[in-house]
Amino acid sequence: MMWYQDTNPLNGLWLSALVAVLPILVFLLCLVAFKMKGITAGIIALILQVIIAMWPFGMPVASIAGAGFLGVLTAIWPIAYIIVLAVLLYRLTVASGRFDTVRNSIAGISADQRIQVLLVSFGFGAFLEGAAGFGVPIAICAALLVQLGFKPVKAAMLSLVANVAAGAYGAIGIPVIVAAKVGGVNLADLSFDLVLVLQLVSFATPFILVMILDGWRGFRETLPITLAVSVTYNVSQASLLIFLGPELADILPGLLAMVMIVIVGRFWKPSHIYRENNSPAPTPVKESFKKILVAWSPFYILTAAIFVWSIPAFKALFLEGGVLSSLVLKFSLPGITGVIVSSGATQASTATWAFTPMNATGTAILVAIIIIFVTTKQLHLTDVLKTFSKTVCDLWQSIVLIALILALANIANLSGGTASIGNALA
């Protein structure tokens, strides 16, 4: 038996949309106003979403269960797979002692705190957002800025502002990839649209960071390096989004922005060195070029692995009719496939969950981890296993919350609630 989606069940466009948006508003209120834990707020919002999907939207119980189950499966694969491995890679870099060298190499490039913010919070922060996401870049970059002489609150604020340029493509492009799946849109089309929507904001971010620190004087004095960083970051990010997709849209631009700061810094210096409250610059720790090269190697390897996984020729191997298409396992979801007819559609929806062990982005991270483990004498198998166990323990609540939100999003989408909100806004 088929069920026909109704995007205006209350015979009033804005009234239907207002009811449809209630789970989102309740979720935000629970977090912000009532200071509830994320999981508690997510459970309350999900229960409300189920009720609204049943009435007034009239979605069958079996379809609600199927939509929610699809959200949970998506949270596990590929999202949790990517998150756990990305954070594991970062923690193994710290455990190997290489991250101390990375920190020292960043700190030694310039004593000017305006340039340090561009280097640490913008460039390195973008790279960390792309590699791990989920607060990792804010925590690490803020701590680095404090060690460089910034006040803690200001360091955190600057790192949060810098993250505006990278947040949409965090954790190997997860927000865009999931949005495309939940919304049923083409990933390439969504990536291109994001260039039109977000690139201007990303372009302005480095200038905003400098002006927060030193106003218009900072804007004038650092214009050459700020402009070079912004153009490098945004041109590379837009190119990746248009031609490859969102997976490398933070990682590679972040690396290139840092490289550009180093290159420009060799030929240009600001008219005066800016320090907060005229504080003295910390004594830089000199590291050999070879040691720096080795310390950064996990990030090179990660970038290379994800690049291979992102190129169209590699992706084509796993598409229908491709040489390795048999390795992509697809499962139809009961209650959705052949049951739900979307508003304006002439045939029932087809909902599948794909298990892709070989071509998943998380597998690219796993390959990078294996290479790093094999080539790093300081790491032992017991270290890797212990770090993996701790990473899972630390992230399980975040993964559960993601599962709740995706279950809510799928139910809202397939019940017609999302379309109702979109129609009202349009």
Distances 303 to 234, 351, 365, 390 between C-alpha atoms, Å: 18, 32, 9, 25
Residues in the chain with pLDDT values less than 50: none
Phi-psi region of 331 (alpha: psi -120 to 50; beta: other; left: phi over 0): beta
For 246, phi and psi rounded to 5 degrees? -85, -5
In the 8-state DSSP scheme, what is residue 222? T
What does the pLDDT read at residue 135?
65
**H-assigned helices in 109-250:** 113-117, 125-131, 136-147, 152-162, 170-183, 187-221, 223-243
Q: What residue spans define the domains of the chain?
A: 109-283
240 neighbors 307 (Cβ within 8 angstroms): no
Closest CA to 92 of 371, 320, 364, 403: 371
Helix (H) or strand (E) holding 394: helix 381-415
Tens-digit pLDDT profile for residues 334-386: 899 888 888 777 678 778 898 989 988 789 889 989 998 998 888 899 989 99
Q: How far apart are CA 32 and CA 143, in angstroms?
A: 25
Phi-psi region of 280 (alpha: psi -120 to 50; beta: other; left: phi over 0): beta
Say what the pLDDT of residue 310 is. Answer: 74
Give the model confidence (pLDDT) of 18-60 as tens digits. Answer: 999 999 999 999 999 999 999 999 999 999 999 999 999 999 9
Q: What pLDDT score was predicted for residue 282?
A: 65
